[in-house]
């Protein structure tokens, strides 16, 4: 039973346009959400996060939006650059002490020049 779902395995966007990556979750007890970015042959790296008490967090070109009622979050990248081409993982944390993150299956973003 997948608790964190990224329903789009891949996404192609033209350089300069907006990229929107989506993530849905099923467990209302998740209290913290993160996005990781992964290049080939490298480990994932932390990109941006958001607490469940907020609905938006912005860091430069990256913005994460959280809609708790819909159990949905999205990552916006504006403007998209070729260097943003990577696999993006959505992750969530269940507040029950020190519990591990639950990851989605990832979305491969290709930014076309």
Partner 1 sequence: NAGVTQTPKFQVLKTGQSMTLQCAQDMNHNSMYWYRQDPGMGLRLIYYSASEGTTDKGEVPNGYNVSRLNKREFSLRLESAAPSQTSVYFCASSEFDTMTGAGANVLTFGAGSRLTVL
The residue among 93, 26, 83, 89 whose CA lies nearest residue 60 is 83
Q: Looking at beta carbons only, is 38 or 72 nearer to partner 1?
A: 38
> Contact positions toward partner 1, by CB under 8 A?
6, 9, 31-32, 34, 36, 41-46, 49, 51, 89, 93, 95, 97-98, 100-101, 103-106
Residue 84 sits at φ, ψ, to 5 deg, of -80, -10
| Cβ closest to partner 1, residue 83 vs residue 97 | 97
Q: Supply the minimum distance, in Å, between the C-beta of residue 95 and partner 1.
A: 7
Pairing of strands 107-112, 10-14: parallel
């Amino acid at each position: 039973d997948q608790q964190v779902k990224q329903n789009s395995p891949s996404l192609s966007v033209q350089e300069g346009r907006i990229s929107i990556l989506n993530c849905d979750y099923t467990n209302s007890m998740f209290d913290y959400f993160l996005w990781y970015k992964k290049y080939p042959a490298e480990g994932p790296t932390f990109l941006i996060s958001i607490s469940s008490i907020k609905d938006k967090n912005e860091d430069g070109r990256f913005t994460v939006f959280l809609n708790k009622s819909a159990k949905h979050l999205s990552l916006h990248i504006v403007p998209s650059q070729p260097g943003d081409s990577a696999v993006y993982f959505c992750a969530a944390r269940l507040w029950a002490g020190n519990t591990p993150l639950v990851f989605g299956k990832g979305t491969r973003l290709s930014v076309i020049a």
